[in-house]
Amino acid sequence: MTPHFAALLPLPEPEENTLPVAESALPLGVAIDPLTGAVEPHSGRYTKKLSELREIYRDKAAFDRLLAKGDAIAYEVVEYRPPNSDVTFGTTTMYPGDIGGECYMTRGHFHVRRDMGEVYYTQSGEGLLLLESRDGESRTVEMKPGVCAYIPPDWGHRSINTGSEPLVFVWVCNPAAGHDYGDILSRGMRKIVMKTDGAPDVIDNPAHP
Ligand code: F6R
Ligand code: ZN
């Protein structure tokens, strides 16, 4: 079999938050609360606080002013990762807000495995999924309850809460996909989402090289 071309490229360093696997590999039903993103049972979870996200926002002065008021949780990820499986799933719960008009967002990443995509199924709240291909094409998919967004392999993806309530979505992918944060962290994405008069606008990122 011919290996996928990406297998020949150097891989990024492993991400810092690889979560543990569940103990049992047996079939089961996992309860997901569409309003809070709670996942029971779950095998791992992490939170991202505002202070960990300074690099991703444009307006550092607005960021520092907000952080001075308190280091709130910006988003949480809860996962059910079965052992020895080609699927893992969980929720991301993103709190609403903006920094100098730029809507709260996830770090954004490509998958280390360039042959592995993902789906995001929105449970509550409203947002935008911002996608970017390796050759610079940008797309957005509306995130709202009932919409399942398809993320093709090798498209960078970042979720943005454009509403005033938590944005909760279920994601499903291969646990081998991995996260490559480097490109988006260093360059940003080509588009940013700003709130003007309460409505979200997708605009060109003036800081993108
Ligand atoms: C997994 C995936 C999601 C995100 C999560 C947080 O491949 O896309 O579970 O990891 O929504 O976003 P990031 O990882 O970009 O901070
Ligand atoms: Zn992903």
Model pLDDT for residues 54-100, shown as the tens digit of each residue? 999 999 999 999 999 999 999 999 999 999 999 999 999 999 999 99
CA distances from 175 to 31, 81, 83, 121, 171 (A): 20, 8, 10, 17, 11
Residue nearest atom 15 of ligand 1, based on CA coordinates: 108
The answer as to whether 124 is a domain residue is yes
Considering the domain boundaries, does residue 25 fall inside one?
A: no
Q: Is residue 161 one of the residues assigned to a domain?
A: yes
Q: What pLDDT does 10 receive?
A: 52
Position 197 scores a pLDDT of 86
- What is the pLDDT at residue 137? 98
Nearest ligand by distance to the CA of 77: 1
Where residue 189 falls among pLDDT bands split at 50, 70, 90?
Answer: very high
**Does residue 108 have its Cβ closer than 6 Å to ligand 1?**
yes
Angstrom distance (rounded) from CA 148 to CA 172: 11
- How do residues 134-155 score in pLDDT, each as one tens digit? 999 999 999 999 999 999 999 9
Ligand 1 atom with the shortest distance to the CA of 179? 7
pLDDT value at position 33? 98
Mean per-residue pLDDT over the chain, rounded: 93
Q: What is the pLDDT of residue 143?
A: 98
pLDDT value of position 17: 56
If one counts the domains in the chain, the total is 1
Question: Is residue 12 a part of any domain in this protein?
Answer: no
Q: Cα(4) to centroid of ligand 1, in Å?
A: 23
* Domain, as residue range, for 171: 30-204
Please tell me the predicted confidence (pLDDT) of residue 45.
97
Task: Determine, yes or no, domain membership for 10.
Answer: no
Pocket probe for ligand 1: among 76, 77, 154, 180, the residue whose CB has the most ligand atoms within 8 Å is: 77
Q: What is the CA(107)–ligand 1 centre distance, in A?
A: 8
In a domain, 166, yes or no: yes
Q: Is the pLDDT of residue 5 over 60?
A: no
- SS3 category, 61: helix
């569940």: which residue's tokens?
A: 22
Q: How far is 195 from 124, CA to CA, in rounded Å?
A: 20
Cα within 13 Å of Cα(131), Cβ side? 19
Q: Which residues contact 166 (CB under 8 A, 6 or more apart)?
A: 35, 36, 37, 93, 94, 95, 96, 124, 125
Q: What is the pLDDT of residue 100?
A: 97
Q: Is residue 97 part of a domain?
A: yes
**Ligand 1 midpoint to CA 83 (Å):** 20
Does 6 map to a domain?
A: no
Kindly tell me if the per-residue pLDDT of 2 is higher than 70: no
Say which CATH number the domain at 160 has.
Answer: 2.60.120.10
